[in-house]
Amino acid sequence: MGTGFAAAQPLLIGLLLLWSSYGKFAEPQQADRTALPRLVGESRAKPAYQAVAAVEAIIALALLLPPVWAIEAVAAVALSIGFTGFLIYSKVVVPEASCGCAGKSAKPVGRRAIARALLLLATAALATTATTGWWSAGPAVLVLVVEAAVFVMLSAELDRYWLLPIRRFRIRLSHPYAGTASSTAPLVATQRRVLLSPAYRAVDGYLRSDIHDYWDDDDWRYLSYIARYDGRRATAVFAVPHHDSTPESVRVAVVDETSGLTLYRPTVLATV
């Protein structure tokens, strides 16, 4: 089983790298939201982003096709180390930068992204011990379902497919201000707009509650959530215009609970 488990890893890694590569080729503008402009310069950020995508695709195909024993797994290890180092650099030097790993996501690099890179590194290291192809792994391939589920849970890009529906269902069952909204708009409608907005995706990793408070002021409704930012107690405040129903019109700021200073305000928000 242990040998089969190691042999199965290239299948998972190859599929993950193909997904990541496709996301970079499909959305090259995502490079501008990462730390690449700071690291290699604005003019070279997009070419560097696409070069990484090409390397991912080559390694993925090498892992999925008949193996050249261990060489492609070692390459995957080196790539994973690079991913991890880049994400740590982004977290420390450009904290507002997004991961840019795959797909559209305006969320800053967080623990989940770094944990995903470390998990990819661990699976690649295990793949270097394989002595047969993934198609010979037998029942061990079924274990990849569990591993894939863990990768999904660590991928902010996929939250809208599973995490947000769960949160919406939970809110429908019980939310703290049901039936108390003003006559301007039902609170549940405002909440739905927030949940569907790029602003919510940009900060949901910091949120620690459902709606904590809300109020109307002229043409805007404000919703606050308890949050934590860099280990500090904070409040996330969403501004939702009454006369613009598009999710992209929602704005958000994370402010320090004690001083009231703005800790984070995403200025460029990705759309779905």
Residues 36, 92: Cα–Cα separation, whole Å: 13
| Per-residue pLDDT tens over the stretch 10-23 | 999 999 999 999 99
* Residues in the chain, total: 272
Q: Mapping DSSP to helix (H, G, I), strand (E, B) and coil, where does residue 214 land?
A: strand
Q: For the whole prediction, is pTM greater than 0.75?
A: no
- Tell me, what's the pLDDT at 179? 47
Decide: 159 and 198 in contact? Cβ < 8 Å.
no
Burial class from Cβ neighbours inside 10 Å (0-12, 13-18, 19+) for residue 72 reads buried
Residues 198, 40: Cα–Cα separation, whole Å: 27
Q: Name the average pLDDT for the chain.
A: 86
- Tell me, what's the pLDDT at 30? 85
Spatial CA neighbour of 20 closest among 95, 82, 111, 93: 82
DSSP state of 247: G
- For 126, the token pair is 């295990």
Per-10-residue mean pLDDT for the chain, 272 residues long? Answer: 82 95 89 90 93 96 82 95 95 86 75 94 94 86 92 87 74 51 71 92 89 83 91 90 88 84 75 41
Residues 150, 154: Cα–Cα separation, whole Å: 6
- Tell me, what's the pLDDT at 79? 96
| Per-residue pLDDT tens over the stretch 141-152 | 889 999 999 999
Helix, strand and coil in the chain, % to nearest 5: 55, 15, 30
Spatial CA neighbour of 86 closest among 12, 34, 164: 34
